[in-house]
Structure 1
């Protein structure tokens, strides 16, 4: 998979993100994508080949491996990274839509006119798009963590598993290659995912709090302006 292409696309999201969003993007690429590409893929590259069972029954080893590893950790993490980064493209597409509207508006009314003060500023619909992308990313993260724990019943890989699935002749013992190393990487990837969830939740609260403060400030300014106009009208002397 060409992760550089994904990095190039997400780089455009960085300039529209808050401080929490920039930290999230750094964590995704440094602690997840980079670790995934450089180390994790190599750790699981020989997983099935070194899954050894104490039987020579044809097909038993393959069936037991499929039984205990229905979805590879690597493929599950690859899907997780794709799903949690795709919602960020909603923001880029919304900004591109605003920029196109801005271009058409200027072409129609002149270059001195403006439809938006800043197409990338998180106001109006773009604010809702950004907030929705955070909720979707958080849901995807939690869902994949649940699936990983549900499929393997734990984040820790055992050294030995027992299998009696057909065509195995009886209860056989199977041994996982490098279980300690794989467990360490699993906990690391899960910890990075949890950190991303925390950052997303912090950013959600930050966006909502900023919006509330701005609305309250606008309401105060509007009320003060109306009061000034009212006092001015009251002080005017009647016409004679």
Structure 2
């Protein structure tokens, strides 16, 4: 259990690191867009090679499909709630959709890490690195937008510390769940993470990367995909 918590903390720590990086320096718009694009590519690779593929292996298409639907709807509804609350407060969402996405895909993604540890598969270095690398742009982009919208440093850092803690604890939850969870439930967890990620990518991360990085966004996205795909397919 302590091992699961330790590896979960390592994977989730990049969320806080990204927020700190956003707070200690001002990121140029083009560079921030490139970071977001790289992260988007890494997340697309994670969906393809770590979540959907593994889910199909564990439980088949129906379990993955059910998880995809629930994950997609969960992010969609949570994002709408964030946008509505932000609009009422007069400051806009200010990076909160990316934070919601990091939470909704981070919980099941790190639960998958814990399940792997509990079933004796050990730590998937590829998944660990993919989570760490893809977390950075999400938190950097979100924290930068939050600061630009007028939110305090304390609020931004506190939010990302909370997301980090919850995601790290999800690894412990996955570890504890492994004994009771069958292949179908594990596949649905993979599908949930994939569904939340895909909606977040299309609705928030990719458009933001394109807006900030311009025509370079596509090329950097491919680079992020290639790096993460190589890590995911390490043997």
TM-score by length of 2: 0.30
Q: Between Structure 1 and Structure 2, whose CA radius of gyration is higher?
A: 1
**Which structure shows the higher helix fraction?**
2
**Which structure shows the higher strand fraction?**
1
TM-score by length of 1: 0.30
